[in-house]
A and B are shown apart, each in its own frame.
Chain A
Amino acid sequence: QKEVEQNSGPLSVPEGAIASLNCTYSDRGSQSFFWYRQYSGKSPELIMSIYSNGDKEDGRFTAQLNKASQYVSLLIRDSQPSDSATYLCAFSGSARQLTFGSGTQLTVLP
């Protein structure tokens, strides 16, 4: 079983819609969870971090964490073409390293 399972997509949504990205992880000792955005040819950019169960909102982004289900998600409201990128979920446990998912490629259609 992979440490991080992420729906690989590709995912296409129309402009203005909600994009939903999901990730499950196997390490119950995971403490910190992150969503990174990576544009083609660029390095990852941290867009959200979440550490406790529930929702965390930042502008059009909402991260959701459910430790009991070992599930983390990212919702992007009012999706824009500029949101088109690959989204990587990552988690950190006791080793303090980041383990990345394989990424979900999102395309927002104008």
Chain B
Amino acid sequence: GAVVSQHPSRVICKSGTSVKIECRSLDFQATTMFWYRQFPKQSLMLMATSNEGSKATYEQGVEKDKFLINHASLTLSTLTVTSAHPEDSSFYICSARPFAGTNNEQFFGPGTRLTVL
């Protein structure tokens, strides 16, 4: 149980384009999903907390107009990187916290490696 999928696993795009990443909890419901970014040899950096049916909460320094988050259902959250630039190239990872879970466990998707040319 507690499987989280993420799509696509890898994307290469041109500078100025937008990229959408999907995160799905496959066998549980998740009222809260999280989006992280990880640069090489660094730890995970929380970008935003996505709550089903409400606006996402962004961490300090993360531009909400650049990183659009939509949590449309209890099993799906999307992150759209708008007008991507080379500095946005990174490993984007989502996680989900089970609706019925206790103790704040989070389960991670496999990640999306974004390369902006």
Contacts and interface: CB of A to CB of B under 8 A. Distances in A.
B65 interface: no
A102 B110 contact: no
Interface string B102-117: 0111111111000000
Interface in B46-88: 46, 49
B44 interface: yes
Contact of A97 (B43, B46, B93, B109): B46
Nearest to B6: A43
A27 B29 CA distance: 29
Interface string B36-50: 000000111010010
Contact of A44 (B44, B97, B104): B44
Interface in A69-110: 88, 92, 96-98, 100-103
Contacts of A28: none
Nearest to B46: A97
A34 B108 CA distance: 13
A71 to B, nearest CB: 19
B96 to A, nearest CB: 12
Contacts of A45: 108
Q: Which 7 A-B pairs have the closest CB atoms?
A: A92-B104, A43-B111, A43-B108, A32-B103, A102-B43, A32-B104, A43-B93
Interface of A: 31-32, 34, 36, 42-46, 49, 51, 88, 92, 96-98, 100-103
